[in-house]
Amino acid sequence: NSKFELKQNYPNPFNTNTTIRFSLPEAVQVKLTVYDINAREVRSLVSGNLSAGTYDFTWDATSNSGAATSSGFYFYSLQAGSFIQTRKMTLFDK
């Protein structure tokens, strides 16, 4: 892949877990973070160096502390070097 890309999560909406896919054209420092509607960090999924490639990470609708999150809208943001992209996802009642 020749560019940074953050795909829409699948499934969306979801109720137990969802997969977030992104592509990196080069090795880079990466942060993949889930935020609530008030822009508070809910879960850090990735924080570190990754090599070029396509990655799938699953979010199980829990917070960093392991607590279940409530239904509603969430955002996930990929920061990879100077690339930043954010997308919206919907969690419905479990």
What would the pLDDT profile of 58-85 be if each residue is shown by its tens digit? 999 999 999 999 999 999 999 999 999 9
Q: Are strands 41-50 and 28-36 parallel, antiparallel or unpaired?
A: antiparallel
Give every residue of the chain whose pLDDT is below 50, as ranges. Answer: none
Residue 93: per-residue pLDDT? 77
Q: What is the pTM of this model?
A: 0.95
Do residues 88 and 77 touch, judged by C-beta distance below 8 A?
A: no
Pairwise CA distance, residues 8 & 20, whole Å = 7
- Which contacts of 69-72 are long-range, i.e. CB under 8 A and separated by 24 or more positions? 69/36, 69/42, 72/36, 72/37
Pairwise CA distance, residues 45 & 8, whole Å = 16
